[in-house]
Amino acid sequence: MAGEPQAGCVFCKIASGDIPATVVRRTERTLTFRDISPQAPTHLLVIPRVHHSNAAELAAAEPLIAAELLTEAGEAARGEGLESYRLIFNTGAEAGQTVFHAHVHVLGGKPLTEGLV
């Protein structure tokens, strides 16, 4: 069921503490940790503790938690000393989504002016 932990979901396991992660921030509803395969000097992931497959599904079901993902991303970037950063929500395999538990990437610490947009 949407919102319930999904067996085999790596981010549900991080949220429950079953898989370790380098956690930098936590709230009652969210967790922010370092990406295991960083693509920039700072590469964090902010996830809801509840399971939804992607950001849009999270926003439809839990708009307040979706908004909190953004405020937590901003606070985490500030905590890393970043004035500039990029937030990415991959949605769907063709867009590069590999973990089907909503998350936002926070990237920074190097010029990010090259890219798709």
Residues noted as catalytic? 103
**19 or 112: CB nearest ligand AMP:** 19
65 interface partner picked from Zn ion, ligand AMP, none, CB below 5 to 8 A per type = none
Find where tokens 């970037």 sit. 77
Q: 72 and 98 in contact (C-beta within 8 Å)?
A: no
Rounded CA separation 38/35 (Å): 5
Q: Which of 21, 30, 51, 72 binds Zn ion (CB under 5 A)?
A: 51
Residue 41 CA to residue 39 CA, distance in Å, equals: 7
9 binds, among Zn ion, ligand AMP, none (CB under 5 to 8 A by kind): Zn ion
Binding residues for ligand AMP restricted to 44-103, rule: CB under 6 A? 45, 90, 96-99
**Among 102, 94, 108, which residue's Cα sits nearest to residue 6?**
102
Q: Which residue has the tokens 């990415």?
A: 88
In the complex, which residues of this chain contact ligand AMP (CB under 6 A)?
A: 10, 19, 21, 35-37, 45, 90, 96-99
